[in-house]
Chain A
Amino acid sequence: MAQILSPLPGTFYRTPAPDKPPYKADGDAVAVGDVIGLIEVMKSYIEVTSDVAGTNIRFSVDNEEPVMAGTPLADLD
C-alpha cells in the first residue's frame, strides 16, 4: 500500500479541464510518473505526478477541494 501526497498547497483537480474525464478513474492502476491530478496554486496549475506505482487508486480528496502541502491525495494497493 502506498500514498500519493500533495506536493503543494492549493486546490486539487482530478481532471485536466472541467469538460474532460479525470486523469485517473477510481480503481485505475498507476505507474511512476503518471499524472493523477492538478494543483492550482496562485492561479498556476501544477501537475501532480506519482512517484510510486500501484493498483486500485482510491482518492481521499474530492475534485476542487483545498489541500495543504503533504495532504494525502490518494491510496494505492
Chain B
Amino acid sequence: MLKKLLVANRGEIAVRIIRAARDLGIATVAVHSAADTDALHVQLADEAVNIGPPAAKKSYLNMAAILAAAETTGADAIHPGYGFLAENAEFADAVAAAGLVFVGPSGDAIRLMGDKVSARSAAHAAGVPVVPGSSGRVAGIEEARHILIDTGFPVMIKAAAGGGGRGIRIANNLAEFEQAFPQAEAEALSAFGDGGLYMEKVIGRARHIEVQVLGDRTDAIHLFERECSLQRRRQKVWEEAPSAALSEGLRDRLCSSAVALARAVSYSGAGTVEYLYDDAADQFYFIEMNTRIQVEHPVTEMITGVDLVAEGLRIAGGEALRLKQRDIVPRGHAIEVRINAEDPARDFAPFPGKVGDLRLPGGPGVRFDSMLFQGYQVPPFYDSLLAKLVVHAETREAAITRLTRALTELSIEGMKTTKPLFLALAADETVRAGAVHTRWLEGWLSENADRLNDAQG
C-alpha cells in the first residue's frame, strides 16, 4: 500500500483524490500555484508545497518542481488527476525514474494510446471496431480510391501533419473526392511541408459512449458505459450511466471490446475507452482511450458502488484487482452535470468571481464534488469547473426529477454558473426522451438562448 501520495493537480479532482487517499489511510501532499494558496485541496491535505507562479506551465505543468516537492516531502507516489500532466508519458517515465509510483498506466501505455495512429492500430488488433478509413498515410490517389470502398461518403481527408481542425476536407461524392484529394495533397505540402494524408468515414449523427475500465496489468474489467452526448464545443456538460440507447447485446459487445483493448495494452489503473455510436446504423466505433481518471467518473461510481479513485490507488500500491467482472452489478441511473463558472446568458463567458452565500444540495441520491467554500475567490488562470452535481435514482426519469430538485437547492451567490442551462435541459422533452446526439446541444443553444437567463448561479 502507498504511504504518502502527492496530488499533482488542483480543483475538485485534487479534493476527490485526497479524500480517497484519506479513506485508505494514505498521507497526502497538495501542490499549488501562488494563485491557489487558499484553495480547498491545500487546506485538506496533510502537507502543501508551493510549486510556482499562477501560470499552469510554471506550476501545475512544471515537472521538475513537482518531482522536487515529492522528494522534499518524502512522497512515494504521484497522482496526476486529469488534465495537466495526466496523459504526459514523459512525466510518467520521470516519476518512475525518480523511484516513485505513478498512479496510472505506464509511460509506454500512455504513449501508445496518445498517438492517434498507434491507438487505432492497437484497437483494431484487439478486435475493437474503428472508424472505417486508412490505417495510416495514404500512398496516393490509387490507394485512396480503394479505401473509399470501406468509408463510403461523406469522407474526410486529413493532413497527417495537420491538427486542431486544420487541413481537413470533406468530400460528399466521387467527383468531389477526385477534385479534393490532389488539392488537399498540395495544400498539406505547402502548409505543413508534408503532403501526407489520412482518410476517415464521416460519422453523421452519433452518440458519445465510453466504457470505464480498471486494469492491473495482467487483468482488466469494465464498469459499464457512460453516455456523454450533450456537449458544447466538444466539451461534455452532462454525463449519465447507463446509456439508454444501447440494447443488452450491444452493451455486452461494447464493454467486452473495451476490456480486450485494456488487456492488449497491459493497462494499469482506471481508464476510459471512448466510442461513437451511430444509432441509425447500430454501429459503434473506437475514438480514443483516455489513460486517466475522467471528470465524469462519479456516474459510474453511483451505479456500481465502486470507488474508482480508491481502486486506482490500491492497484498503484501493488494490489491485484480486487473485483471480478461478476462483482460489477449496475443499479439504477446516474446523471452528472458540470457546474462551471460561466454565464450561459452571455455565451458562456468565463466568470471568475468570489463565492458568497453558498447553499449545497443534499438528501438521498445526491453527491456534490467540488472545491467551493464561502469566501473562495475563483482564480482566472485555470478551467471553469466549479463542481459536479451527481444524482442517482432507480430510473432515468426519476434521476432527471432528482436533478431538478438538487439544482433548485443549489445556490452560489456572487457567481454566474451553468446551473440555468441544466434546469432548462432537465425540462426539455428531447433530453427527457434521450433523443440526442453529439451536435444536438449546439443547435438547442442557438434556439433557446433566452431560456438561460438567471439572476444568480
Q: Which residues of A contact B (CB under 8 A)?
A: 8-11, 40-44, 64, 66
Complex Cα distance A9/B55, Å? 13
Q: Is B382 part of the contact surface with A, judged by Cβ < 8 Å?
A: yes
Complex Cα distance A47/B349, Å? 13
Given contacts A8-B350, A8-B352, A66-B54, 11 further A-B pairs with CB under 8 A are: A8-B380, A10-B352, A10-B380, A11-B55, A42-B342, A42-B380, A42-B381, A42-B382, A44-B349, A66-B35, A66-B55
Interface string of B292-308 (1 = CB under 8 A from A): 00000000000000000
Q: Is B53 part of the contact surface with A, judged by Cβ < 8 Å?
A: yes
Chain A residue numbers with a CB within 8 Å of B381 are 10-11, 40, 42, 66
Within 91-113 of B, Cβ neighbours of A (below 8 Å) are at none
Q: Are A41's CB and B380's CB within 8 A?
A: yes
Interface centre among A8, A10, A11, A66 (most CB of B within 10 A): A66
Interface size, chain B (Cβ < 8 Å): 15
Q: Are B350's CB and A42's CB within 8 A?
A: yes
Complex Cα distance A11/B352, Å? 13
Q: Which residues of B contact A (CB under 8 A)?
A: 35, 53-55, 341-342, 349-350, 352, 379-384
Chain B residue numbers with a CB within 8 Å of A8 are 350, 352, 380
Residue of A nearest to B340 (CB): A42
Chain A residue numbers with a CB within 8 Å of B35 are 66
Chain B residue numbers with a CB within 8 Å of A44 are 349-350
Complex Cα distance A35/B379, Å? 24
Chain A residue numbers with a CB within 8 Å of B349 are 44
Chain A residue numbers with a CB within 8 Å of B55 are 11, 64, 66
Pairs A–B under 8 Å by Cβ, sample size 9: A9-B380, A11-B55, A11-B380, A40-B381, A41-B350, A41-B352, A43-B350, A66-B54, A66-B55
